[in-house]
Amino acid sequence: MECTILSPAKIILFGEHAVVYDKLGIASACGIYSKVKIKSVDDDFVEIISKDLGLTKKMSLDDLSKIVNMIDDLRAQENIDEIKSMAQEDLLLPSFVVVGKIMQKYGFKGLNIIISSHVPKNLGSSASVFNAISKGVLECLNVTDDTAFFANEGDKVVHGTPSGIDAYTIANGGWISYRKSIGIKTLNLNVEPYIVIVDSGDVARTADTVLFVKKRLEEDSVFVNGVMDKLDKISKEGLQALMENDLEGVGQKMTEFYNILRTLEISTPTLDEIVKIAINAGAFGAKPTGGWGGGTCIVLSKDKKHSEEITDVFKAKGFKAFVAKLGVNGTRVD
């Protein structure tokens, strides 16, 4: 058995930070991909090779069982930081946990797994790889199961307590909505707009910005709650525009979301510059995506040609930028 799995990225169109406070979030699968090649081998080991990380590691069935049980025990003891620290020290550990969780349920099989990814950080990079591994291992074991569930086990190792948005959106593709008190819902939207993804060059500081907003809330709950209520309203209006295939309206709401959220002082001069360049280039809208404090911006264009023109504008100014499509299919056998 041999297969190649393609797994998309994901972007948050509306709702970052607001979802922490039970406000509406809208996310989409994005046409940038991780690729995982998996083949069965006559061996007693699972070997994982990451071309991007330059790492190779093998684990036996006993090794897999021990590591999965250790992670489960630490989680039961709520030692989340220790798990995350282990993942930072051993970058292939989360991938082996995904494999181990599946094989713990469905039985062991010797496998060779080769990972290569074009998904940047802040766009669901880990969940994209974990979904590809999950889908591929399940295929090799001739099992039909919830790809996203096992992928999220890897994200738990990396991020501690992920909502599952990344894993679910990437596995299923298309569009989803999320509200903490309700959960994840699939959106039946017939829209696949093109965006430009622009790298600010600064590392996103999601954990720092989430903590910063929390402290702002403690200091001035009236102001921060007011911001969150405004963001929730914008997300609802943005969803309505998506349902009506009104891309110009979606773009306006993206920029409006940016202007409101930046009042919490979690943007950066570079992110602000990117948004300004995008609007001056005729984009429908632009905003940072993910944790802010660095990372990437998404720019909504009129069409693919316009995306390419905007990309050229950013490249001429020294930014890394590329075109991607939203609402694409989820993790699949290539």
CATH match for 2-187 among 3.40.50.2300, 3.30.160.150, 1.10.760.10, 3.30.230.10:
3.30.230.10
Instruction: Report pLDDT for 121.
Output: 81
| pTM of this structure | 0.90
Give pLDDT tens digits along the chain (334 positions). 899 999 999 999 999 999 989 999 999 999 999 999 999 998 889 999 999 999 999 999 899 999 999 999 999 999 999 999 999 999 999 999 999 999 999 999 999 999 999 898 889 999 999 999 999 999 999 998 889 999 999 999 998 888 888 999 999 999 999 998 999 999 999 899 999 999 999 988 777 888 899 999 999 999 999 999 999 999 999 999 999 999 999 999 999 999 999 999 999 999 999 999 999 999 999 999 988 999 999 999 999 999 999 999 999 999 999 999 999 999 999 8
- Among residues 255, 330, 247, which one has the least CA distance to residue 297? 255
CATH tag for 194-325 (out of 3.40.50.1000, 1.10.1370.40, 3.50.50.60, 3.30.70.890):
3.30.70.890
What does the DSSP 8-state code read for residue 47? Answer: E
**What pLDDT is attached to residue 310?**
97
Contact 65, 104 (CB under 8 A): yes
158: left (phi over 0), alpha (psi -120 to 50) or beta: alpha
pLDDT at 160: 86
3-class SS letters over 162-210 = CCCHHHHHHHHECEEEEECCCEEEEECCCCCCEEEEEECCCCCCHHHHH
Q: Do domains 2-187 and 194-325 have the same CATH topology?
A: no
Are 313 and 281 spatial neighbours (Cβ–Cβ below 8 Å)?
yes
What pLDDT does 162 receive? 83
The percentage of the chain sitting over the pLDDT mark of 70, rounded to a whole number, equals 100
Q: What confidence score (pLDDT) does residue 45 get?
A: 94
Q: Per the structure block, which two tokens stand in for 190?
A: 């017939």
Res 43: pLDDT: 86
pLDDT for 203 equals 85
Parse the chain into domains and list their residue ranges. 2-187, 194-325
Q: What is the pLDDT of residue 205?
A: 78
Looking at residue 324, its pLDDT comes to 96
Predicted pLDDT of residue 114: 98
How far is the C-alpha of 23 from the C-alpha of 11, rounded, in Å? 17
